[in-house]
Structure 1
Amino acid sequence: LVGSEMCIRDRYEGEPLSHSTPLKKIANLIGPENCYSFGIRSGMKEEFEWAKTSGYNLFKYEIVEPLRQVLPTLAGKKVYVTIDIDVLDPSAAPGTGTQEIGGVTTKELLEVVHMIARADVDVIGADLVEVCPAYDQSDMTAIAAAKVLREMMIGFIK
């Protein structure tokens, strides 16, 4: 995951299936040591503690340098990439329901997509989530999302 919030809760407002629970469910299936989150700027204390004690790979705030270090360790492996548009700073992507200041630039996000595309990994799937055009009268978020998706399709499909 490249995003701003953790998404490793067991439940959110009593619901086991919500936008805050998918990564915990995935980690429970494949092991937290096989999950990576970059650019995280928000979460509950319990999420950060669970990540620390479980072996979940969590990289706060930054995406480029941590990914540059991680990619060689994933060589030859199958990976699924999910990008949450809220990894971008709200100044670049206001059209999301979970804005969090201190995000990355569109240039950094595109660099990450290109790094993954060039890496010796087998991207078996990818998505980009949490774009909400109704929250962005300027369409900046949709424009950024479209560019990122284009680069993902061009780079990840081999």
Structure 2
Amino acid sequence: MTKKKTKREALPSLKSLHNKLWKLTKEEVRFLYPWNKCYICGSVITKKKKSHTGHLFKIGSLPLQLKYDLRLLRPCCVTCNLFKNGNESWYMIKMIKEVGLPEVLNLVDDIEKTVDLEGTVARRDWYLQAINDLKLPRVTPLTKPKI
């Protein structure tokens, strides 16, 4: 008699978890900021494909826990996000006008204090928790900032 091999459930890869979380994060940003203008330059974004989600700071400089932080993300156009490398100086000016300098300084403190996660298991667990958190019911969209 031969034994049947039981299939072990495959764990999702970090790449697939990143893609799923980033998709949910982009949807959440578009829900919170529903206007069709670039946050940075103010140009009208006519097509969904041309709408990007920009970070206040370069994504490579952020620890994993803050790459998806909604406080740092706003809708922006392809030109500002890709061709002008995030247009960080204008992004920072707009952010300071919107939330105030103390809040922006708090964000910088959070970045400096946050220790990036080490190891695949810790990262996978964090991704799964973040995905579950974003699936919770939404509050209400924010109104357009008066800048």
Q: Mark yes or no: TM-score above 0.5.
A: no
TM-score tier, shorter chain, comes to under 0.3
RCO higher in structure (CA 8 A, sep ≥6)? 2
- Higher helix fraction (1 or 2): 2
Q: Which has the larger radius of gyration?
A: 2
In the superposition, the TM-score normalised over structure 1's length comes to: 0.25
